[in-house]
Structure 1
Amino acid sequence: MASNLRFQDKVAIVTGGCKGIGRGCVDVFVENGAKVAVFDIDDAVGQTMKPEGPGEVFYIHCDMTKEDQIKAAVEATIVKFQKIDCLVNNAGWHPPARTIDGFSAEEFRKLLDLNLIGYFLACKFALPHIRKTKGSVVNISSGAFTVGQPDAVTYVATKGGIVGMTRALATDEGRHGVRVNSISPGCVWTPLFEEWAKTAEKGQMEQIKDISILGRFADPREIGMACLFLAADATFTTGEDLSCTAGIERGYGIKMK
C-alpha cells in the first residue's frame, strides 16, 4: 500500500527552524515523514522540539553567521542521517524600520552575513550531498523584495540577493539534477512580526492587511506547505521564485503611510 506521506524517509535541513516560518516548515515536513535537521541558536526551544508526525527532528546548535559552525552542522547531519534531500534556507532577521540615513555600513555587513552569506555557506556545504540524492534547495526570500518595502533598504537588498543567487545556482546545479527555487512570503504572523505589532501605530495593522488581496496574514504553516510543494512535487521547476504574498503586489497601490 502506497504511503501518502510526501517526504517519507527523506532528509531535510531547515535553518532558523525553531520559530516562525522555519518552524512552520519543520512541522509540515515532519508530518510528511521527513527527518529534519534544524540549525538554530535557540537552544531552549530546539532541544525540546517535538513536532507531531511520523518524521524526526534533530536539533543542531548553529550560528548561521559562522562558517565553521555551518560546515560542522552539515557534517553532523550526514553522520546522523547519511544523506540530505533538501536544504531550506530560512534563518534571517528584519531590522527595525528606518531610512538609509539610519543604517551604518557595519550594520549592513552584519545583516548580509546572516540573510545572504549564511544561505550561500549552507548551500556550499550541503550541495555536495544534495547532488548525490538529486534533491533540491528552497531559499526563503521575501515579498518585500518585489514591492520595495519602505524603510527597509538593507533588508530588501539581502532578500533580492537571495532570489538572484537562487537563479544562478539553479543554472549551475541543473547539470547535477538538483533543483533550486525560492519562496517570497508576504506578511506572516511570526514571533518577529508579533513583536513589531506591539509597537505599531494605530491603524497600521489594518493597513497592512488591506494591501493583501486575501485581507489577512499568513500562518507559518502555509509557507511550510509551499516549501514542501517545491521540495516534493515541483519536479520540473527550478530557478523560480514562488510568491506567497496573498497578492500584495496587486494591492501595493494602497500607499504605506
Structure 2
Amino acid sequence: METELLVRAAQRGDAASLTRLFQAHYAGMRSVAQQILGAGPDADDVCQEAAITVLTRIGQLRDPSAVRFWLHTIVRNLCRTRLRQAQPVPMDMSDLDLAFAADDPVERYADRDWVRHALARLSPALRPVTMLRYFSAHDSYERIAGLCVIPVGTVRSRLNEARRQLSKILPLVRDERHDESAALTTLRRAEAAAILDGSPGAVRGRWAHSAVVCWPDGRRTTGLSSVVDSLRRAVSPQRLVDVVAAPDVTVWETTTGTWLLHERGGQVRNVRLAVDV
C-alpha cells in the first residue's frame, strides 16, 4: 500500500516520493542490469538511463501496484538496446582514486563506496564542506569557504569535526547495504545530465520557482529557467564529470567548475557555482 501511495504522489509531481520510490527499487533494478550486462559500469550507466526514463514517464504508469515490474522492464529494455548498439564502456569517474591528507581517517577508505554512503550520517552543516573537500576539484579551504559562504576558519573547524565523526561512522557502516545512497546519486546524476544538456523538462519540479542561483561573476538569478538560459548562451558547453549526493546537498563536478546545490523539502532552493582555476 505504501508503494502505491508513493507512486500516486510521484505522479502528482512530489519529488521526495519519486526519490523514495527509486531508492526502494534501485537494488532490484541494478541486479537486473548486472544479470544482463555483468557487474561493471555498463550496469550503472543503464540505471542512470532508467532514472531519466522514470522521471519522464512515471505519469504513464496506470497500475501503481505493478511499479516493480514496470521498473525492471525499463531496465531490461535499456540493457537490450545497449547490447544491440554494442557501445564502448564509458569511464566511470567515481572509480578514480581520491587524494586524501595523510593524517585523515578517511584515507584508508578512499576507494570504498561506503565513504559516500557515510555522508548521510554527518551533521547537515558538515556535509557540504566534506563533499567539496573529498569529492571535487574545488577542495582548498579558501575555495570551499567561497562556495559555502563561510569563513576559512569555519571550514577548518567543520572539516575537523567531520573527520572526527567519520572516524567513528565509517567502520560502522562498512557492512551496510549502500543501495539507497547509490540510488540517490544515480537520480541526481540523471538530473544534472538533463539540465546541462538543456533538457530540464523532466526535473523542473525538483527546483523551487524561487531557487536562487549565484553565478561566479556575481550575478544572482532565480529558478531553473535562468540556469538553462545561461547554459544555452555559454560559449562552450559544460560536460558532467561526477556527482556526489547526500541528503539535502548535491555537488556537480563539471569540466568547467563546481556546482553546490542545497535542497529543502525535496526541492532545490539555493545553488552556487564556482569555476576551476
TM range (shorter): under 0.3
- Is the radius of gyration larger for structure 1 or structure 2? 2
Q: How high is the TM-score relative to the length of structure 2? A: 0.25
Q: How high is the TM-score relative to the length of structure 1? A: 0.27
